Structures are given as structure tokens and as C-alpha cells.
Amino acid sequence: FSSGRRRHREPAAEGCPPGDGGSMRCQQVSVLYFARSAELAGLRSETLSVPRQITSLQLWEEIVKVHPRLAVIRDQVVFAVQQEYVLLGDQLLVLQPGDEVAIIPPISGG
Amino acid sequence: LCLGTTRNNFEGKKVIHLEYEAYTSMAETEIKKICRDVRQKWPSVKHIAVHHRLGLVPITEASVIISVSSPYRAESLEAVMYCINTLKASVPIWKKEIYEDKYSWKENKECFWENSEK
């Protein structure tokens, strides 16, 4: 797992006001949906504006605000942030513009 | 050599075919990590090939193939087992089983976060 890319003292920002995509406190990230999460969200990818520093659980909650149907899979999913798996929880993320965040339902390859 | 082929039934339901999707760029990265691990753990291994089909896979056809060569058969067999088990635990690929009247997203019991969160 990634243990969080950088540790900062300031608390995670509360939310992104509309039109705040370019500010210091919010970032545009690319969100990718797969398998069941793509069916529930109704799309495969989009750009969302989220706080630059945010816990993985808070990030999930931001995404569920946009796609409430995703709530049913909360206990089954993890994220992949810049292709590193991240559990939903207290792990602090520091997001860069254009970072890729993928919703990863339980996998079934092989 | 490990060749995964599709069964034609699940819990009494007839499987029509499988559909696979992947987070392709990350799946490739994770498979490369598995190959690096294999070379560290079994230095005698010569060649490794991992191939996974995406999209529609009809029943009886192979969806995954893993091939490892080594001068020592025990090591190549262990390395193949490691590859398939780790692929099932960590590579972002999803399988949908299509039945006559519905479908189901499958979940590997090896999936590493399914076991840790409960």
C-alpha cells in the first residue's frame, strides 16, 4: 500500500466550492469507474474538483455526493490513486492536478 | 503452464459466456511487479509470459495463460502458482458471468481487501 505521499499538519479541507477548480485548496482529479461502480455511477470516467488534501474516506464521500448510488458498495471497494491501492479510511492523500483516482470493486481476474 | 478455462455452470446456473474488463495500465504494472517478484524469489527462472483476455470469452475457452520456464520443474511450478494466486489477489481485472436471464460480477476470494476489512 501507499502510506500517503506527504504528511502535512494542516487539516484536510472541507469541500470545494463550485468553480474552485484552479485554487490552492482544490484540485481537478480524473476519476475512473470500473465494473459494478461504473454501472452504479452510470459512467466510466469524469473530472471532479476535490480538496487537495483529503483522507481516502472523505474522498469517497465527495464522490458519493455526486453519485449517491455508489453508497451500496462502500464496504467492498478500495481506491487506486496514481495506480497505488488505498483503503477507504484515515489515510491522508495529497492530490496533484490531473491525478488519477480509480474506484476498484472486488477483483476477479484469472 | 497454467491455463484458466471457463466453466459452463455456476451454482446450477448455466453460464453463457464471460466478459472481462480491466484497468489496463494498472493491470500491466501489477503484472510486471509479479514478474519481478518471481525473478527475485526463483532466480533460476528463464522466461515468464502472462496473458489475460479482455472482453467476451466464450465458455470452454481460456481466459488466462501463465507460462514459466526454468531448468528446475519444482521452481517453475511454484512460480506459476505464485503468479496465478497473486494475479487473483492484486491485478485490477473484473469478470462478469453472463447467465441466461441475468449476470453477476464475480469476486475472487484472494482479493486482498475483501479479507482484511471484515
Q: What was the ipTM of the complex prediction? A: 0.90
Confidence tier at A11 by pLDDT (50, 70, 90) = very low
Question: In chain B, where do the E strands start and end?
Answer: 2-5, 9-10, 13-22, 47-52, 55-58, 62-69, 93-99, 103-105
Q: In terms of C-beta distances under 8 Å and separation of at least 24 residues, what long-range contacts does B54-57 make, across chains too? A: B54/B20, B54/B21, B54/B22, B54/B24, B54/B93, B55/B19, B55/B20, B55/B21, B56/B17, B56/B18, B56/B19, B57/B6, B57/B17, B57/B18, B57/B19, B57/B20
Query: Is A25 touching B (CB cutoff 8 A)?
Result: no
Q: What is the pLDDT of residue A14?
A: 52
A109 contacts on B by Cβ (under 8 Å): 20, 22, 27, 52, 64, 87-88, 91-95, 108
CA A92 to chain B, closest CA, distance in angstroms equals 18
- Residue A59 pLDDT exceeds 60: yes
Cell representation of residue A106: 472486488
% of chain B at pLDDT higher than 90: 81
% of chain B at pLDDT higher than 70: 97
Cell representation of residue B76: 517453475
A23-37, A90-104, B11-25, B43-57, range with the lowest pLDDT: A23-37
Query: Is A76 touching B (CB cutoff 8 A)?
Result: yes
Closest alpha carbon within chain A to B94: A108
Task: Give B35 or A23, the one with higher predicted confidence.
Answer: B35
Q: What is the pLDDT of residue A13?
A: 47
Q: What is the pLDDT of residue B12?
A: 86
* Contact yes or no for A107 and B105 at CB 8 A: no
